[in-house]
Amino acid sequence: MDLAFFGVQLLNGLQYGLLLFLIASGLTLIFGIMGIINLAHGAMYMIGAYLVWDLTMRLGNFWLAIVIAIPIAIVLGLIIERLFLDTLYKRDHLYQVLLTFGLILVLNEAQRIIWGGDVHSVPVPAPFDGSIQLTDNLQYSVYRLFVMGVCLALAGVIYWVIRHTRLGIIIRAGAVNRDMVEGLGINVRTLFTLIFSVGVALTAFAGMIAAPLTSIAPGMGDSILITCFVVVVIGGIGSIKGAFWGAILIGMAETFGSVLIPSLASMVIYLIMAAVLLVKPRGLFA
């Protein structure tokens, strides 16, 4: 493996990892603070991609489509939390898992009814539709660099909110001991609503910015959900920092694993998860 090839793969791994982080961050927040295993997280990723595809086709402008799609995703998160989850907080985890699993079915079916079963794509938007030459025959889309930048910026914002704001203190405290936070007079209900809609919006946003890089098809969120759970478990449940490093680790592992040890490609991330759990049963940063 020469240096150029190594560099290209490093870039690929980083970009994939950063996108995973965006999806996993919402998952880990919801999981860690609300104690809800949101199986419908992948479906929201898909909804984000379909929303932006639909709006781009209607409006002819990808950026405008994103601006409109984000509030829709937030409202959808709000509705789900208020209408469905709210009634189940006092119940056992199993009820919540059942509910979010049901949501996968409902969201997938809604997608089929609204948008149909065809495969779609969103053209790479200007001004990022160019590419840079990496090696003799390989180019890299500028839009991928842009996505990396956006993910990094968002990671920074999330980190800042969690570390340096009052809200962040509550979130961190909530991840450690929910009952105590409630005992200190903080309205957990409002916090939950906020966390859930932000978490859902983050994954939907990941679907939106990933839309020009992927194909938009039914069930596209199902496989990414599993990978993101692996990220969350490796990083430590509820830890944003863990989600970040877990996502980068998994991104690199998938990228290099698939090329260097192709026979184990589909197992690599699970092997890593098993190894991490052996050493640190609660994840790297929990």
Partner 1 sequence: MKTSIKKTLLASVVGAGLMAAGGAYASEHPVKLGLMLPYSGTYTALGEAITNGLQLAIEERGNQLGGRPVEYVKLDSEADPSKAPQNMSRLVRGDNVDFVIGPVHSGVAMGMLRVAKQTGAITIIPNAGLGAATNELCMPNVFRTSFSMWQDSYPMGKVAYDRGYRKMVTITWDYAGGKEDVAGFKEAFTEAGGEIVEEILVPFPSTEFQSYLAQIGSLNPDAVYTFFAGGGGVSFVRDYAASGLKDNIPLLGSGFLTEGNLGALGDAGEGVLTTLHYADTLDSDANRQFVAAYQEAYGKVPDAYAVQGYDTGMMLAQALDKVAGNTEDKEALIAALASVELESPRGLMSFSDSHHPIQNVYLREIRDGKHEVVDVAYEQLEVPDNACKK
Within a 10 A sphere around the Cβ of 1, how many other Cβ atoms? 9
Pair of tokens at residue 62: 């990808």
Interacting span for partner 1 (CB under 8 A) from 76-84, 85-93, 138-146, 181-189:
138-146
User: C-beta of 23: minimal distance to partner 1 in Å?
Assistant: 13
The least distance separating partner 1 from the CB of residue 257, rounded to whole angstroms, comes to: 9
273 vs 187: CA distance, rounded Å: 35
Q: Is there binding between residue 278 and partner 1 (CB under 8 A)?
A: no
Residue type at 104 in one-letter notation: I
Q: Does 78 bind partner 1 (CB under 8 A)?
A: no
- Smallest Cα–Cα separation from 230: which of 246, 214, 244? 246
Contacts of 56 (CB under 8 A, 6+ apart): 62, 65, 122, 211
| Cβ-based nearer residue to partner 1, 259 or 274 | 259
DSSP 84-152: TGGGGTTS-HHHHHHHHHHHHHHHHHHHHHHH-S--B--PPPTTS--EEE-SSS-EEEHHHHHHHHHHH
Asked if 62 and 263 count as a contact pair (C-beta separation under 8 A), the reply is: no
Instruction: From 37-45, 59-67, 180-188, 262-270, give the range in contact with partner 1 by CB under 8 A.
Output: 262-270
State the CB neighbour count (10 A cutoff) for residue 282.
Answer: 13
| 133 scored as a contact of partner 1 (CB under 8 A) | yes
Tell me if 61 contacts partner 1 by CB under 8 A.
no
Contact pattern for partner 1 over residues 175 through 214, marking x by CB under 8 A: --------------------------------------xx
Question: How near is the Cβ of 131 to partner 1 at its closest, in Å?
Answer: 6
Does position 168 interact with partner 1 (CB under 8 A)? The reply is no
**Given candidates 87, 165, 177, 266, which one binds partner 1 under the rule CB under 8 A?**
266
Cβ count within 10 A of residue 246: 30
Q: How far is the CB of 190 from partner 1 (least distance, A)?
A: 34
Residue carrying the six token digits 């919801």: 30
Residue numbers 27-56 binding partner 1 by CB under 8 A: none
Count of residues touching partner 1 (by CB under 8 A): 48
Give residues in contact with partner 1 (CB under 8 A).
Answer: 2, 4-5, 8-9, 12-13, 15-16, 104-105, 108-109, 112, 116-121, 123-124, 131, 133, 135-141, 213-220, 223, 254-256, 258-259, 262, 265-266
